[in-house]
């Protein structure tokens, strides 16, 4: 079976296995990147701290860390395609967002056998958290996939093993196999969600900070407030920590990304990663793939002046 029919078969399998899909699937921080966007950190922090406070106020019984994690997960995540907090961020007037026209995203205009699921559905809205543009889907990764990561760690006591399973998921049916995209940023959000759940109970998971909760006598007490600023960084942004595209999708995506070189030329600082060396070290065990070639600072410079406009003009949309 050659690559194109195989991709169509995988797409059919995905559509049969996936739950009802009412939201977007992929993320796109290239489109509309230079549009103003208000930071929503405080609003999102408040929603998470409200959830934590609710668990503490309604607690009964003995100390049980897993019950705390499950309670927060069921409030903010949940057993459905789009997590509750993600859906709220997509709809709330309190959260500013950009929502690209479906026809204008980086995934549109390519053959369906190349984009697969990514071409069928739209993209998630982009929001700003801790000064970073992220897809609203990353909230789902943080709370849902982070919980799975935490549970695997609890079972094995081995962060590397938990990270391997996270990477496998990104490679398999709910990742690159059906989209052509391997999202480094998804893996980072998964890991930071795991760190969040650990930081509920363990000191110094967020360096220099105590656990969010302390067990005092027969009840939980909140020691400090949660903030996304402890977890969100430039590696959550898919225009900076660019996806790895498989051999079917790569030539189309490379061509498409060249079309953003004018945006890069207008504001190169919007495409630079703060503290890239330290971030690469922090996430070195997550099996992120090297996509520095597709970072616009490198891609546009490699093509040179005059090449981009000609190639983009010739690209079918």
- pLDDT averages per 10-residue partition of the chain, 317 residues: 47 42 69 97 98 98 98 88 89 95 85 68 90 97 95 92 78 58 93 98 98 97 98 98 93 96 97 95 95 97 58 34
What pLDDT sits at residue 170?
61
- Decide: 24 and 137 in contact? Cβ < 8 Å: yes
Q: What is the pLDDT of residue 178?
A: 62
Determine the pLDDT at residue 34.
Answer: 96
pLDDT at 166: 77
227 phi, psi to nearest 5 deg: -145, 140
Instruction: Give the angle 57-215-201 at the CA atoms, nearest 5°.
Output: 100
Q: What is the pLDDT of residue 275?
A: 93
Break the chain into its structural domains and give their ranges.
3-314
Q: Are strands 213-216 and 219-222 parallel, antiparallel or unpaired?
A: antiparallel
Identify the pLDDT of residue 39: 98
Residue 176: per-residue pLDDT: 54
What confidence score (pLDDT) does residue 108 get?
85
pLDDT of 264 reads 97
> What pTM did the predictor assign?
0.87
Q: Provide the H-helix boundaries in the chain.
A: 3-17, 41-57, 65-76, 84-91, 112-115, 117-120, 137-140, 146-156, 159-171, 176-179, 184-199, 250-258, 261-266, 276-282, 296-303, 307-314
């Amino acid at each position: 079976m050659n690559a194109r029919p195989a991709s169509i078969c995988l797409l059919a399998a995905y559509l049969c296995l996936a739950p009802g899909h009412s939201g977007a699937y992929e993320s796109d921080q290239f489109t509309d990147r230079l549009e103003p966007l208000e930071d929503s950190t405080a609003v999102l922090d408040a929603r998470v701290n409200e959830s934590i406070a609710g668990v503490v106020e309604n607690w009964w019984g003995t100390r049980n860390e897993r019950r705390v994690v499950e309670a927060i997960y069921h409030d903010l995540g949940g057993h459905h395609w789009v997590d509750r907090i993600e859906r709220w961020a997509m709809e709330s007037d309190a959260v500013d967002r950009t929502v690209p026209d479906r026809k204008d995203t980086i995934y549109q205009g390519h053959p369906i056998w190349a984009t697969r699921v990514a071409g069928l559905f739209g993209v998630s809205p982009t929001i700003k958290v801790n000064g970073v543009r992220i897809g609203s889907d990353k909230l789902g990764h943080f709370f849902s996939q982070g919980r799975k990561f935490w549970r695997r760690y609890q079972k094995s006591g081995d962060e590397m093993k938990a990270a391997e399973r996270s990477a496998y998921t990104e490679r398999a049916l709910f990742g690159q196999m059906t989209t052509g995209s391997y999202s480094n940023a998804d893996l980072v959000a998964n890991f930071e969600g795991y760190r969040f759940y650990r930081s509920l109970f363990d000191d110094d998971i967020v360096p220099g900070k105590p656990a969010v909760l302390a067990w005092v006598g027969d009840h939980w007490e909140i020691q400090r407030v949660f903030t996304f600023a402890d977890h969100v960084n430039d590696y959550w942004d898919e225009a900076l920590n660019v996806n790895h595209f498989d051999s079917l999708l790569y030539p189309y995506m490379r061509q498409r990304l060249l079309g953003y070189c004018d945006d890069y030329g207008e504001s190169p600082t919007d495409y630079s990663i703060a503290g890239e060396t330290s971030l690469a070290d922090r996430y070195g065990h997550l099996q992120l793939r090297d996509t520095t070639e597709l970072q616009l600072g490198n891609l546009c410079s490699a093509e040179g002046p005059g090449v981009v406009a000609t190639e983009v003009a010739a690209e079918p949309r």
